[in-house]
Amino acid sequence: MSEPLRTRAAALDAADPLAKRRELFALDDGVVYLDGNSLGALPRHVPGRMADVITREWGELRIRSWDESGWWTAPERIGDRVAPLVGAAPGQVVVGDSTSVNVFKALVGAVRLVDDESRDEIVVDATTFPTDGYIAESAARLTGRRLVPVAPGEVAEAVGPRTAAALVNHVDYRTGRLHDLPGITAAVRAAGALAVWDLCHSAGALPVGLDAHGVDLAVGCTYKYLNGGPGSPAYLYVAARHQPRFDSPLPGWNSHADPFAMTPGYAAADGALRGRVGTPDILSMLALEAALDVWDGVAIEEVRAKSLALTDFFLECVRAYVPDGRLTSLTPAAHEERGSQVALACADAPAVMKVLIERGIVGDLRRPDVLRFGFTPLYVGFADTERAARVLAEVCAEADTGARSPR
């Protein structure tokens, strides 16, 4: 049964215009890495760049590197490298802090931009990643608003004259469902509110179109599909039309119009720099900058096409190899509703994933019963995909046999 699918996988890899990108990453032979939706693989050239940062820029130039090596301008310079990957023009993205901190800045900033006490509600994606929900609840308390959790598909109907802002995840972290960013944004803005998007599971995997779709504010991490490294800094997008009035709830010295004046009163810098807070985390920042080199010459549309082909092929292989009813896909079949991961419901998910990893198929899980497989088109191939499904079927069969064996 497997030979036709293996043959097709080889043909698909041979025709893949992104196949050579795999060589840019440090990957182990014999391991299929399908957890890039949690931590992207290391680009091979990053260690060399970081050795130079540490030994020369820090070790020799020391304080001079803030100017001579461009450390001071890194947050906005790297933001402009991220911008094309999320469909933003230059000058609207600043890199720094964590996703959680940026969600707080964006959501409180959105309520302040609306500046209307009658808009006393913040709508939040009820299926959101937990941190976003925690931050949204805190932002609601801080701004005197009421938090209204709704399913993403119901946001358009839920927003109205009382809505100040809506916070929605572009791709659901559990299921890989892609939500309707253009439609939801249009509905939120038509209601007179502001749309804030979390792009953690979409940036670097599919076109986002922040400018084209009129998004107000957005945040995202860089350690998943952007391969920036563990804990690499996140980013904040503030649409140019909002920047003159964007009032960050965390006005640190780095976002001051004249940071080295050290005046007691705060005066905000112009543009995206208003999203900065404290001293940038330079080592992680510059590792991210180097990692973004793998995107040079890559069109995000090409990445999206391969992502859909990979996830289609994986689901086809799972259907072919795994008995009906053993696993259930939670990821939508429709391309317009799918991110770049496949989530499979599996009653014994923790045990199955443990054995998969031992056999070189690295995915992850969400307790109690979801297997997650992330497909990063820059380094995952079709032969990887077929092998992952085949080993998954073997592990499931062994688990079922073991469950039926007499003790």
Is 313 a known active-site residue? no
Is 198 a known active-site residue? yes
Q: Are 232 and 208 in contact (CB under 8 A)?
A: no
Q: Are 287 and 232 in contact (CB under 8 A)?
A: yes
Six-digit token string for 7: 């043959």
Q: Are 322 and 5 in contact (CB under 8 A)?
A: no
Catalytic-labelled residue, pool 81, 145, 372, 387: 372
- Residue given tokens 């705060």 in the structure block: 266
Catalytic-labelled residue, pool 25, 33, 104, 129: 129
Pairing of strands 121-125, 370-374: unpaired
Catalytic-labelled residue, pool 35, 125, 198, 364: 198
Is 224 a known active-site residue? yes
Catalytic-labelled residue, pool 21, 119, 224, 326: 224
Is 129 a known active-site residue? yes
Catalytic-labelled residue, pool 223, 314, 375, 382: 223
Angle of CA points 293, 299, 305, to nearest 5°: 125
Is 16 a known active-site residue? no
Neighbouring CB atoms inside 10 A of 13's CB total: 16
- Return the active site residues: 129, 198, 223-224, 372
